[in-house]
Each structure stands twice: as C-alpha cells, then as structure tokens.
C-alpha cells in the first residue's frame, strides 16, 4: 500500500507540474484510480481510471492516462479494485412510493424481511406501531410488501387478524404487487366501506362467508379508491424526509434515473419545488396520473 501511495504521489506531482499549461476545462474535479470500470463501450469495455468534472466524464483509461487530467484541486479516489458501473436507469417504479416504503413497516418475506407467517406479520406491525414516529404523529399504521404466496398459511390476512393488532387506529397492509391491500375494521369504517358498498369497476371487495360482509381484502380499484386516502397529509419536512429516504434506496442500489410512474397531483406539485429548493441526487421522470 505504501508503494502504491508513492506511485500515486509521483503521478500527482508530475500532473501538477504540467497542470499550469492545461486549459482549465481539462482539469478534473475527481479522478478515480485502480478500479475495475465497466464502460458499456465495445471499443473500450473496461478501464482502470476515470476523470470527472461538473458531473461529466473527462477521460477514461489507465491510471497514467487519466491522471494527466489532474490539477492542484483535483481529488484522487483510490478504488482499490472496486467495480464501477454506469448508473442504472429504472424502467418502472414509483419514486414517492419507494419513499413511503422506507418509513412504513417492512412486511417482505425472508431474506428481505421477517414475515413468512401471519403471526410474524402481526408481530412486526405491533412493533412498528409501538415505535414509529409516523404512527404517533398521524394516527395511522401502514405496512408494505407482504406476500401471501410466501406465508405458511398461503392466503391473505383478513380484517380480523389486523383487528387483533389494533382497532384503535386505521391499519392497512399492502401486498407486494401493490395492487391489493388488507384493511382493519377501523380503516374500513373510516373509508366508508360496508356490506352495502358495491364492487367498483375494475375492483373487488372480498367478502366473508355470508357473501356480503367485507373481509378486509380490497383488490385493484377497490384498493386504489381508498389507499391514497390512507396516506397521511405529511408536513413539508416529513415529505422531504420521505423523498430523501426513497432517493437513498435508489442510489444505494445503483440507480441514477428513476420513475414516478403514477404521480398524483400533490406529488406533481411537490417534486419540482423540492428539486429547486433542496435538490435531488437522482434524475426523476414523472408521469402524471391521468385520473
């Protein structure tokens, strides 16, 4: 490692001596060296070093070639063999939804979460309710990404099993697909869902054995017609935290361009405002919900 530092220092000295004769536009802000850089360029599929200025790649090649872009203020980052790939472009997701997932209970099955039974789901939701600032502030409990096919019961939970968690506040858990949810009795009551409520076009209110009483499972448009009303009216500060949590989730998985695939009116108004005031570190493509 000492030998590598000496080599880098020598290269840095050489670069600084010639920097005075360079055009300032050719001097990098950052230079990454000693990496395994995947370029997605058939003519140069891999490289050792990368130079960047103002978010633009100045040079790609071996250490010596790229260090020619070094100036007195250039920061050198030694990748120590780490692989670097171009930023991933998300093809389909919901940016605000990913942010919401970051602040609600994680109901994913193993290995991504702890829920492989209804009892485990109940335990996670009880713990979330007991410890969540969101629940304290907004009096609503949300959990995302349970998967009935990976529960030992091989079925969806019902309102009765959610009522065993709480009947004091509305509670909703969303399926991993995002296209259905289960609501406790308090949530159904607040949303005006009763035995007399007809199935909406394109949706299904799953009923109990009597054929009329909702069992808590709401599919497709039956779910969508009440789900968005379950999301709290977050303060600007909480919204910013939500979006930043979602952004971190994307960035930590290598995404630099993401989709907001069904943007409601409030989000459509909020995203540009936050982009201007606080800024985002990803590019967000927003598709407004036509409805």
Per residue in 14-52, pLDDT (tens digit) is 444 344 445 667 899 999 999 999 999 999 999 999 999
Contact yes or no for 169/135 (Cβ under 8 A):
yes
pLDDT tens per residue, range 221-279: 999 999 989 999 888 888 899 999 999 999 999 999 999 998 988 889 899 999 999 99
How far apart, in whole angstroms, are the C-alpha atoms of residue 132 and residue 126? 10
Residue 1 CB partners (closer than 8 Å, separation 6+): none
Q: In this structure, what DSSP letter does residue 7 have?
A: H
User: What's the whole-model pTM score?
Assistant: 0.74
For 53-58, the CB contacts below 8 A with 24+ separation are 53/25, 53/27, 53/28, 53/29, 54/29, 58/26, 58/28
């Amino acid at each position: 490692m000492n030998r590598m530092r000496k080599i880098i220092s020598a290269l840095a000295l050489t670069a600084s001596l010639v920097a005075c004769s360079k055009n300032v536009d050719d001097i990098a802000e950052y230079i990454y060296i000693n990496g395994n850089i995947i370029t997605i360029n058939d003519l140069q599929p891999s490289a050792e070093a990368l130079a960047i200025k103002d978010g633009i790649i100045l040079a790609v090649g071996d250490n010596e070639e790229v260090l020619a872009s070094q100036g007195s203020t250039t920061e050198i980052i030694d990748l120590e063999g780490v692989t670097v790939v171009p930023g991933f472009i998300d093809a389909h997701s919901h940016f605000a939804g990913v942010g919401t997932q970051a602040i609600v209970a994680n109901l994913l099955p193993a290995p991504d979460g702890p829920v492989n039974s209804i009892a485990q789901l109940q335990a996670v939701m009880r713990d979330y309710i007991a410890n969540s600032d969101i629940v304290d502030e907004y009096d609503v409990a949300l959990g995302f990404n349970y998967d009935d096919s990976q529960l030992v019961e091989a079925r969806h939970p019902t309102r009765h099993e959610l009522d065993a968690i709480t009947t004091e506040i509305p509670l909703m858990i969303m399926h991993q697909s995002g296209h259905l949810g289960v609501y406790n009795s308090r949530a159904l009551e607040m949303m005006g869902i009763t035995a007399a409520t007809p199935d909406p076009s394109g949706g299904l209110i799953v009923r109990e054995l009597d054929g009329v009483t909702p069992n808590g499972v709401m599919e497709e448009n039956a779910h969508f017609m009440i789900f968005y009303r379950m999301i709290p009216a977050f303060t600007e500060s909480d919204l910013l935290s939500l979006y930043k949590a979602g952004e971190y989730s994307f960035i930590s998985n290598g995404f630099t361009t993401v989709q907001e695939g069904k943007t409601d009116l409030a989000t459509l108004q909020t995203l540009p405002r936050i982009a201007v005031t606080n800024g985002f570190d990803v590019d967000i493509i927003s598709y407004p919900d036509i409805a």
